Amino acid sequence: MKSSFGFALIELLIVVTIILIIAAIAVPCLTNSKIAANEASAVASVRAIDAAEMSYQLAYGGYARALANLGGPEPCKQSAATACLLDETLARGNKSGYNFVATGDDPADGANTSCLVGAVPAVFDRSGRRRFCSTEKHVIRVDANAQGSTVPPDGQQCAAFNALQ
């Protein structure tokens, strides 16, 4: 009787098939976990931008014209153009698969009296699904985004969103 060493081709094919089946089950779960993490990061970022807008309003008498005005390059020197309230990554407008905007509007005596903060997934259903926003009322709102939009909400759309629970 002759002894054999190694694996037969059919055994290797069975192992590869099992690995592919496990991967097919695991990948969607990992994608959903990544989306949930990105959405949690987006909510935290909207909160940070909202807090920066409040600080900017107290310091300069109105809300920032744009998101970039809330940050600034290192070493940052505080001014109305670069308030140094946010890290440079977030002030550029994208982080963790989400795009962010912050705009001031309704100028009165040269100062913006309202603001809008918005967050949308960079790639719908890959980096995120839901849209988030906040206004000068500082209530974070959420939209299920059934239409798959990657466009930031305007003030009227934001007002129609549900408050985040």
List pLDDT tens digits, range 136-165. 999 999 999 999 999 999 999 999 999 998
Q: How confident is the model at residue 128 (pLDDT cuts 50, 70, 90)?
A: very high
Residue-level pLDDT at 119? 97
Calculate the alpha carbon distances from 76 to 37, 41, 54 in Å: 30, 24, 19
If one compares 23 and 35, the residue with the highest pLDDT of the two is 35
Closest CA relative to residue 153, chosen from 102, 101, 118, 123:
118
d(CA 52, CA 45): 10
Residue-level pLDDT at 3? 63
Write out pLDDT tens, residues 10-29: 888 999 999 999 988 888 88
pLDDT at 106 over 90: no
